[in-house]
Amino acid sequence: MDWMITHASIPFAESLGGDLYRIYLYGRDKRNRSRPGYIEIDLNRPNEILYISEKPIMDLGLVGTFDESGVMPSWIVNEEGNKYLYYTGWTQGVTVPYYFYVGLAVSKDGGRHFERVSSAPILERNAVDPYLTASPCVLIENGLWRMWYVSSIKRDASEGGSKPYYLIKYAESNDGVDWKRDNTICINFKSQDEYAIARPCVIKENGIYKMWYSYWGQQSYRIGYAESKEGIKWVRKDFESGIDVSLAGWDSEMIEYAFIFEHKYKKYMLYNGNNYGKTGLGYAVLDPEG
């Protein structure tokens, strides 16, 4: 597959009925450009890939637009028969290595092809997000669209601007396109040594909001966890994330970009391992006695 020569990053799953699931992700081509596609699996034998999309579900943006260098899918919302794909578009920078912004595309054919709602991002830079926006998670509750997303609050000038400090913020919308942002921080840094909190995945379970996310430990990403009563004020409980790096192998150095879903009363986690998904994606199943 020309669109996925390396990487299988930022996975998220949708049920196709029965035990079949489609897993959306992005791959990189020979020029290191990111495009989204999907694989299909049966959860009874998840190590066997039943299908890989021959072409990406979206191509790169036009030259000069915010996603000309890459499209990285993050979340899908099903609404009124359409699929809303929220993604991160990126372009190469000059004074900084890259620029990230959140975009939106819609599919009317069941997720095989997506069309942008605009050639511009839906979460552009503004006063509360002056550097970048990325990796949105979106839920609809009582007609209100709720988003948890990544925002950079500064760049380290001593490292040539290459080191961004980013965390997780919150936004709301009435239509999923136009978003109100008021600088509400959901997951903040827990120490001066922390600088990266990425890819939120939020579910609501028994009246409690639960979020898995990636945070930069001493040397690499780990998967963290937090809980909230209303989805805005969160308590970090990173040691309750349920997973850590393996002793050896593809996910022994880092784990990141978790996505949680439930099937037949079991809770599954999709995630990436070493080198931001270059070693592929994996899954874990919650041990109810764990």
Q: What's the sign of the alpha-carbon dihedral 47, 58, 164, 124?
A: negative
What's residue 289's pLDDT? 59
% of the chain with per-residue pLDDT over 90: 90
Q: Worst-scoring range by mean pLDDT, 63-72, 104-113, 155-164?
A: 155-164
* pLDDT, the chain, mean: 95
What is the CB neighbour count within 10 angstroms for residue 82?
15
How confident is the model over 251-255, as a mean pLDDT?
97
> What is the number of structural domains in the chain?
1
Q: Which residues lie across from 206 on neighbouring strands?
A: none
- 199 part of a folded domain: yes
- 281 part of a folded domain: yes
pLDDT digits (tens, 9 = 90+) for 46-94: 999 999 999 999 999 999 999 999 999 999 999 999 999 999 999 999 8
Cβ neighbors of 138 (< 8 A, separation 6 or more) are: 75, 77, 84, 86, 145, 146, 147, 176
pLDDT digits (tens, 9 = 90+) for 131-152: 999 999 999 999 999 999 999 9
- 3 part of a folded domain: no
Domain extent at residue 161: 74-285
- 82 part of a folded domain: yes
Per the CB < 8 A criterion, the answer to whether 88 and 36 are in contact is no
What's residue 161's pLDDT? 60
Give the whole-angstrom CA distance, residue 272 versus residue 256. Answer: 5
Give the whole-angstrom CA distance, residue 85 versus residue 60. Answer: 15
CATH number at residue 237: 2.115.10.20
- 233 part of a folded domain: yes
Local structure of 166: helix, strand or coil: strand
Local structure of 4: helix, strand or coil: coil
pLDDT digits (tens, 9 = 90+) for 200-232: 999 999 999 999 999 997 789 999 999 999 999
- 10 part of a folded domain: no
What's residue 95's pLDDT? 87
- 65 part of a folded domain: no
- 142 part of a folded domain: yes
The model carries a pTM of 0.96
